[in-house]
Amino acid sequence: MQDKTLICKDCGNEFVWTTGEQEFYQEKGFTNEPTRCPECRKARKQQRRPRY
């Protein structure tokens, strides 16, 4: 396995999906590659969190 360069579907920027991250995905049973860069993933998670 080697690092992969992917394109974020939200911002269009390239990001690297490291070998370690790929191994983590495999261990968890995830079959799809990430579609968002870490920054957009974090922003989306913040939007979904309910505010109390």
d(CA 44, CA 40): 6
pLDDT tens-place values along the chain, 52 residues long: 899 999 999 999 999 999 999 999 999 999 999 999 999 999 999 988 776 6
- Among left, alpha and beta (phi > 0; psi -120 to 50; other), residue 6 is beta
Instruction: Specify which residues 4 forms β-bridges with.
Output: 17
pTM: 0.79
